[in-house]
Every structure is written in structure tokens, then in C-alpha cells.
Amino acid sequence: MSLINSLSSFTSLLSTIPSTPPLKTKNLSAHYTYSKHSLSRSSIIPFLSSNNIKISYNSHCHSSTLAEPEQQLVQFEGTLFYSKAYWVTKSLIAWNVDVGNNASCFLFSSQTADLLVNNNCIQGYDLEIKLEPVKDQLPASVVEKFPHIRDYRVFHVPDDVDVKSLLKCQLAVGLFNANGECSDITCLQLPGILDDLYSYGGPLGAVFSTDTVSLYLWAPTAQAVSACIYGAPSSGDPLETVQLEEVNGVWSFDGPRSWEGCYYQYAVSVYHPSTLKIENCMATDPYARGLSSDGRRTLLINLDCKNLKPERWDDLANEKPELSSFSDISIYELHIRDFRSFYFPLLISLLFGLFSIVLLIFSYRNCSANDQTVNPDLCGGYLAFTYQDSAGLLHLKKLSNAGLTHVHLLPTFQFAGVDDEKQKWKNLDADRLARLPPDSDEQQAQVTAIQDDDGYNPVLWGVPKGSYSSNSNGTSRSLEFRKMVQSLNRIGLRVVLDVVYNHLHGNGPHDDNSVLDKIVPGYYLRRSTDGSIEHSTCVNNTASEHFMVERLILDDLLCWAVEYKVDGFRFDLMGHIMKRTMVKAKNTLQGLSKEIHGVDGSMIYIYGEGWDFGEVANNGRGINASQSNLHGTGIGSFNDRIRDAILGGSPFGHPLQQGFLTGLSYQPNGHEHGAKTVVDNMLAESQDHIQVGMAGNLRDFVLTNFQGEEVKGLEVLTYGGSPVAYSSCPMETTQMDISVDDRCRLNQLATSIVSLSQGIPFFHCGDEMLRSKSLDRDSYNSGDWFNRLDFSYNSNNWGVGLPPKGKNEKNWPLIKPRLADPSFKPHKDHILGAVENFLNVLRIRYSSPLFRLRTSNAIQKRVRFHNVGPSRIPGIIVMSIEDGHEGMPGLVQLDPLYSYIVVAFNPLQNEVLFTSHALQARNLVLHPVQLMSSDKLVMESNYDASSGSFTVPPRTTSVFVEPRAFD
């Protein structure tokens, strides 16, 4: 019987089953034959699951007789398909159950995965073990690791149990009443006991020696492991298959050195909780350092081979661009193929065309994918960065010469969603799309039709993505990645990698993109209290609170730092990683030395998204790496507070919500923000938020708020009531119906706020070129059409059609008339002006160390805000930074050129006169960079020493300096 179509047909089938089964009856759904009927797992399990039914013979229960068929069909409440109990140490199991009088708890195992259960019976087990209830609560060490089960009931496992053998079996615990009836049953989550018994620090992956290639795989729950060795990246039979041997959870084999250059797959026989079966899983090596083009086979690659090193590669540590302090860092995010991002911008992406409508732009496309100065075969790849005269590299050189220090490359590891072989990519007719109206919905329709083939979710963290190499098979991806890093370093830019350790693309025993969940099922992925995989990050959250997950992350970081000599790491959704892991990562990386590792680890910077949500929120899975937990660690986290205050609202709010820069209070756009007094207070609070952000977002920075009170940054609250400030030192925060000319000025003003703040400024590729993407709010998979970058500066890609409807359709009524209006489209001179402004604010930042103070104490003593309190001029921010004088008491002298700096930000449509008695009688002049600027308006800025008055032109940032020549 291959298919059961109804409950009645299944019930009638049961009547043919013999009435006297053996005590340990095999699971019917494991393939049991009765009379003329064959019940296979593939036919029964889908029916049982979809109809909430579970069936079995009696075995562990109060009766040895078979109940009537109607009594066998009971409500299925998850039993074996859920894992609600936790085996946390060798001797302790935790389960959220109430053990009443005379109740007993048993552990059941089946080496062949034949456990079966109904409402009061359990069958198919090889072994049953009585567990003793423990009155004490879980040990503190367990609660620290698993705080979400702190109140669970504790059961003791007998000391004489062969625990290691049991961990290779299907396991369940059952609760029985005094009559022997099973009142509850569930499977177990095993990460706790696996860490207790099998935490391992030895070699993993492929290890090369003079005569051998040794394979090591951590797989303590596997029943058998073999390696299939192939001579080719795809197809064909294995050259040989070898059986690995296990020692304490690690499987290994010593093969000949001639294997180098071959490919291999692991065949792992292991119980998988998602299918309730012993599965034979084919998987790549979690510690792979090379892959085939489809990512299905692991390449045996020796990264220390001379042929994989560019000329002078081993000397690169001594050729790195100079970096004296993390506070000197500025970061420019781009994508190898298309300069794009998949999460929210933490500075400000673009205000172009968005005075009365604020839509955040979050994703970025590339110079090289559309760069006609690069060999077409290498466009969008690692080697595009080695063309020193390409338009893209020339642009990066300009930024580097102006002071930019780091390029942040969006995901470069092996991810799913983009085929490694470029000939399989899907493309659109760009000429046809260009002929369509600027507000048409046809462009997005064509992009949407193929956008599922354009994205990235991690498959393997430790291998460069094949689609960016000239040949995704073999060793090209490793050699070319190294050439890219070396080339960027040689134009003065250090390299940061975007790492995504918070989730994985695949799970289960059959998904082609599942790796870790095939090797040790149920261990690497974080699970809820019922055993299902948590998906709050996107899909398949990983669990860094587990020892070997944390170890894999640390080992992967070391590989990129040592083998590819990268200079920093940006952690995607860092709040889903434990703080302990992040601190270990920082300490491990900064412990690297040139002498031993060929890397100066003290200059490797790490930062990420410290958002606190999902199952990890409020330290739900341990102390996580959220903004509020990171202070004092020296680890950077993105500053969304300054972004929201500048733009207004948040990425999830109404697109018309205004902020400091977009007209809140002083130029209403018609959106209902509340009464005038409410709106004025919102603007004042936004100014406070920005000022805290500009002072490094320091928790203890003291400022005068809009009410005239002296408060710490920690006491300034967001609209949600959480503190605006969360950092302890400046390197822990990473910043973010008008004319086209004024819209461009607003964009430049936003860039200057970020550039001239304390802390580390973070820019998105295209910020400096008025990047538009036709108002797409999240274009990570919107294709090259919406994400194009033009390094000839002829276009900012405005008005190339309505953005994809999935995330933008509700705002189409606001977007459509703006795209259709030709007055919104900038000209080349606007784009060139924006590029010049960006270069100028970088030059200003790096003209004085006062913009890059290294300690919270220095910021506290030197940075002041002047337009504060109830008498302030609404909408204006005025900041001063003071230096000391050599040989004089007080502040230490830091800047050899300037003794005092004043920066005034005016987003208003009119000129502003601001007077401060505290700023009288100083020898302030407009910054030389602004005096030489082609921006005529900024040169109208003025300072009157006698009155302490500053004249600031509309929508302008004016920087005044006091040269030491006047001292």
C-alpha cells in the first residue's frame, strides 16, 4: 500500500495486524509487512504528521494486550517529533514536566531509530533506563549556558550507563503514572552533554604533512563515517572510499599526500531528529578550505602552497597601510560583484529626492560588474580589484588619498543563491528596460521574476565564494582572493570581511546546502524549547553558546586573518552571537603576531550589528553581543540612534516621518507628526540624540539637554525608552517640495555629520555619488538593474522604474510621482559635487586628530555642544573640540596645526546666525579645505570674534579652525 488516503482506509488496514506483538515491537513505519500489505515509512509518516496521528503497539505500558483500532488512533501532540527535554551533562537531564506522586521517568534508546509511541505505550526500544528526580535546581554552569531552562525539573542518569553509546541512538524520555501509563514523552536536545563529553581542541579538517593528508571530523553522534575521494570536481565514481576511525568523537584517516588536488565528500551514518531515522548523509567538510564549483565536494587544498601566493604575499604584513589607532578608522562598505548590503544602513544612505518622503536605501551594487574599464571576463570578481587604472579602482584611490582607511567587503564566503558558474546566471535585457518610463512597474516585474536566484545565505564560512573567481573549480578562488586583498592594501585600503555566523542556509539530511546539520544533527543550529529550529535571524539560527560552534567561528576567523591577511570583521546580526564568543574572537585575533603568524593582530578591528531581538533578546540564551552588553569590550556596534534622529523614525516606520535633516518642525511635509509643541520637542530630542552620537555615543558623556539639564548619554532615551548611548570608548560605535540642488546639499550635510563625529564613520558605497536605486528600500536581491553604480559619474540610477513590489508596493503611490518628475533627477555636476564634498569631509576629518579622539576621557574633556537648552535655535547643532598647548597646564596638545575647532550644522532652508559668549575672542577661520572648495555657498560662512557669532549658510556644514600660527 503506497498511499493512505483517508482515516477509514488506514483503520481498516490495522485490522489485519496480528493481535500479539512481541514486547519490543519494531516501528510500523520503519517498513513492516503484514499479510498482503506493506507499510513503508515514506507512505505512513506524511499521513500521520498531516493528520496529527501516531500509532504503535503496546510495550512499555500497563497492558500487554492490543487495544481496539479505534483506541489506537490518538491525538499526536508532538511526542517524538518534538525535543522538549535537554540532556545537559553526563548525569543530568532537564525536562519541563511536573512529576506527581508515584510518577516515574524513563530514558529510552533505539540504535535503529525504531521508537514508536501512542498515548500510553512506547515500543521499539533497545534499552530503557529509569531516571531519578533530583530536588536541586540545575547547576549554575548549566543555567549560564541555557538560561531559558533554568526552572526545568532535573533528573539523574545512573552512573553506570554507557552514555557515549547512547548518544549515537534515537533517544526519548517518557513520564509514567502509577498505573504505568505514559502521560508524556519527548525526544532530547543533546548539545549540553556533547559539550560536556566531547569538547575538543585538536586538529580538524584536512591537515597536510610531508607524506600524508590527514582528515579529521568531529561527529560524536555518528555511527559510521567514510570519505569518498574523487579525481574531479563533479560526476564520476570515487577513486576510493576509506572508512574513518573514531577516537572520543573525532573521526580520522591518514591518506597519501598524492590526494592533494583531489576532492572528497563525507558519508555520515547518523540519527537525524528531523526525520526520526538513521540517515546516510553526504556532506562537505565543515572545515573545508576549497570547494568544487557547486560546493558539493571539498577540495584538498594546501593554502601554504607557494603557487597559491601572489608575489611578496608573505611580506604583506609589513606593507599594510599605516594605522595608529582604531579611532583613525573610516569604513566604506561595498560588494565584490555589486556593492550591495542586505540589512539597514547605519549612517545615511541617501536623501536624494527624499525631502518630503524618507525611504532608506539599504543595498549596493558594484563598480566592477558594470565597469567598462575592466576585462568583461573578470567583472564582478576578485581580479577586478587588481586593475589599477579601472574606473572603480581610481575612485577608491581618491577616497584612500582623502583619508579613507578600510574597505568592508560584503559576503565573500561560500553562500547559496548565486550560482558559482557565471554562464548559469540569469540576465535581463538592459537596453529594453532603459526604454521603459522611469515610473513603470515593468522593470521590477522582470527583476522580481528572477530575484530568488540572487541572494546570499551561508553554506560554508571558510571558503571564498566561487562566483567571484575566474574558475570556481580548483584553487583559483583562493589565489585571486589574496591578489584582491594585496591590491587594496597597496592603494592604502585595509580590508574588512562581512561574516555571517548567525545563520546557515540549509538544514536536515537531504538539503544540498546543509552541511553542519548533516554532520552532527541538532547541534549547530539553535533550537526552541520544543526542538524546532529558531529562524529569527532569517533561517536556521546557529548556536554560538555551544562549544564546537564557537570553536568553528574562532577557527574560521583565524583562517581569514592568517591565510588571507584581512584586517577586520563585520559581524552580521552580532546580537545573536554570545558576548563571550565575541570577546574570545577579539582576544584571539589580537593575539596574532607578525613573527609567528605573519599578521599584526593588534590592528584587526571587529564590529557588527548589536540588535537585541528574537530568542536571544534580554540575554534569553546567555549574555549576547547586543549594544547594551558590549560596552568596555572594545568591540564596535552600529549606531542606529544617530541614523534615526537624522532621518526620522526608523527603517520600519512611516516613510514620511521627518527628522533633524528632513524638515521636522521647520519644513513640514504634510505627514501627521502631532501638535506643534510635540513636533518641536521631537526635533529637540533628535538634536540631543545626534549630539550624543557625535560624542562617540558614550554612556558617560555629559551634555546639556534641550530642557537645560545636565545629563549623561546613558540618561538620554530613545522614543522606545532605551538609552541612546551604550559605548564606553569611541571605537565601540560605528556611525550613520525642494530643488535638486537642495536635496544634494542635504545628502552632503548628512555625510558630514557622520564624517565629523567621534567614533568610527561607516559609509555605504554610493553615499558619495547620490546613489538612488530608484528608491528601493531593500535591494539585496533586486538585481543589477536597480543596483547599478556608475563610476563615470554620469548617472545615479534615479528613475529606472518602480522598485520591486515585495517591500515597496505600499509606498508606490508616494514613489511614482517623484520618479516621473524630471526635476528630481540629478545631473553630472550634482554627482561630481557630491563626490567632492565626500572627499572634502574626509580630508577635514583627517586634518586633525581632534576629530579622532581615542578615549572617552578625551572626548569628555574636549568636546562641547553650544546650541543647547531651552534658548537654543531649533534645528542647529554647534560642536567645539578643544586642544591643549605644549608646555601649558591643562589639556595635552594633540594637534600640531589647530588648537580649537568649531563645527556648525545647519539643515534649515535659511541662513542662521548663532552667537555664543563661550566662543568669543577666538582666532577662528574657515577650514582651508572648505576655502578651496568649489562650493561657493560654504565660503559664505563667517565668524565674528568680537561677538562670538557664526554665520552658517542654509543646508551647510561649516568648519572653523584656530590655527596655531595665531598662538
Integer Cα distance of 838 and 821 in angstroms? 27
Number of Cβ within 10 Å of residue 183's Cβ equals 15
Q: Determine if residue 376 is left, alpha or beta; phi over 0 gives left, psi from -120 to 50 gives alpha, anything else beta.
A: alpha
Bridge-based pairing of strands 457-464 and 925-926 is: unpaired
Residue 486: C-alpha distances to residues 178, 252, 689 (Å): 72, 35, 40
3-state secondary structure 353-370: CCCCCCCCCCCCCCCHHH
Mutual orientation of helices 391-402 and 828-845 as an angle, nearest 10°?
Answer: 40
Q: How many C-alpha atoms does 358 have within 13 Å on its Cβ side?
A: 29
Nearest residue to 662 via CA among 633, 686, 697: 686
Nearest residue to 707 via CA among 728, 736, 729, 687: 687
> Which amino acid appears at position 88 of this protein?
V
Q: Determine if residue 431 is left, alpha or beta; phi over 0 gives left, psi from -120 to 50 gives alpha, anything else beta.
A: alpha
DSSP-assigned states of every residue in 586-655: HHHHHT--HHHHSS-GGG-EEEE-----GGGGGGBTBSB--GGG-TTS--EEE-HHHHHHHHSS-TTS-T
Which residue shows C-alpha cell 596638545? Answer: 893
Integer Cα distance of 835 and 840 in angstroms? 9
Number of Cβ within 10 Å of residue 408's Cβ equals 24
Integer Cα distance of 641 and 213 in angstroms? 51
Bridge-based pairing of strands 277-283 and 263-272 is: antiparallel
Rounded to 5°, angle at Cα 313 from 311 and 314: 125
Say if CB 574 and CB 536 are below 8 A apart: no
Q: Which residues are catalytic?
A: 572, 609
DSSP single-letter state for residue 382: G
> Which amino acid appears at position 665 of this protein?
S
Integer Cα distance of 351 and 746 in angstroms? 7
Integer Cα distance of 911 and 156 in angstroms? 76
Q: Which residues pair with 727 in a beta bridge?
A: 698
Which residue shows C-alpha cell 581569514? Answer: 560
DSSP-assigned states of every residue in 499-525: E--SB-S--TTT-TT--HHHHSTTTSB
Per-residue b/e over 641-675, b at no fewer than 16 CB within 10 Å?
bbbbbbbbbbbeeebbbbbbbbbbbbbebebebee
Dihedral of alpha carbons 870, 871, 873, 877, sign: negative
DSSP single-letter state for residue 670: S
Dihedral of alpha carbons 309, 312, 318, 322, sign: negative
